[in-house]
Amino acid sequence: MKFTAKQIAEVLNGEVYGNPEAEVSDFAKIEEGKPETLTFLHNAKYEHYLYTTEASVCIVNKDYQPRKPITPTLVKVDDAYLALTQLLEYYHEHTKTDKTGIEQPSYIASTASYGADVYIGAFAHIGDHVEIGDNVKIYPNVTIGDRSKIGDHTILYSGVQLYEGTVVGNNCIVHSNAVIGADGFGFAPDKHGVYKKIPQIGNVVLEDDVEIGAATTIDRSTMGSTLIKKGVKLDNHVQIAHNVVIGEHTVIAAQTGVAGSTKIGKHNVIGGQVGIVGHIEIGDGVQIQAQSGVGKNVEDGRALQGSPAFEYAAYSRSYVHFRNLPKIVNRLNEIEKKLEDNGEKS
């Protein structure tokens, strides 16, 4: 499917600078742009590629002014990055294959129900008393446990496993091989030090507009619900333990682990490979840098780094000293030697 610069500007409410009839049929990174591709420039460190790219159209911020001649037609918008997201969504909606129907072989329990325009792929297994909404897409080899509920316009990609009682809201996306609702890691030692399993009788609830990455795992609660609130985005290979609550519109990057019963606030940004201990509370608007270890409560609005994590600004200052530690030690040794020498002479 082809689009002109003029059509792109109309979708984005932008302005065309150059040839409004310039056509594109694909997307490309700015350094790899070819004729009839569309790219974007948002980060100034990539500006030099704008003068060499062969892309036909480039989305830029309204205040951007090229310093040299360029090949692409520009579409100027308020925010190039957000505009690209909007355009990708538009492109996806107009080019995607909207699958419907039930493929065979698949198993749907007689007590299960589903709405209009669903797609259920081959080898899917849908258990007793499952409720599935309208326009839900369930790809092959998905298992939906008994008494689970799936909201409207939700997508479960191949290999997703929903244990019994899982609740998934509207407009959610769960990527391949995610496991939602497995038992929490609950064991108690007896007097002989033998660990006995604590039954996990709760469930997992994903509210609306949640996206779960591939191979991510979210454990069911011991009692009540492990709760992933509206708009949360979890990357691939994230582990969420039992009874955790994650607040609205928080994003968590890959390989992060959150231990049991921790409560995370809303609008937080948590980097990759972060470890968060159990039974603590993290406030709203918190930023935690990659590979940090969080072992205590965190107040609203803090930015943390390190293990154990502390204020990001203080960590950055401390890291400068850490890198210079060998020099500092040598200087201290020299000072001590001079003091010793002066003491002998006196």
Instruction: Quote the crossing angle between the two packed helices 325-345 and 312-323, to the nearest 10°.
Output: 60
Residue 120: exposed, middle, or buried by beta-carbon count in 10 A (0-12, 13-18, 19+)?
buried
3-state helix, strand and coil shares in percent for the chain, rounded to the nearest 5: 20, 30, 50
d(CA 33, CA 20): 18
CB 107 within 8 A of CB 126: yes
How many distinct helices (H) and strands (E) make up the chain?
Answer: 5, 40
- Per the residue annotation, which of 242, 249, 267, 321 is the catalytic one? 242
Q: Tell me if residue 92 is catalytic.
A: no
Which whole-number Å values give the CA distances from 54 to 6, 12, 63, 81, 189, in the listed order? 19, 22, 22, 20, 66
Query: Which token pair is 344?
Result: 């002998």
The half-sphere exposure of 84 on its side-chain side, counting CA atoms within 13 A, is 17
DSSP state of 105: S
Other CB atoms within 10 Å distance of the CB of residue 25? 12
174: closest CA among 219, 125, 126, 139?
139
Q: What is the largest CA-CA distance in the chain?
A: 98
Q: Which residues are catalytic?
A: 242
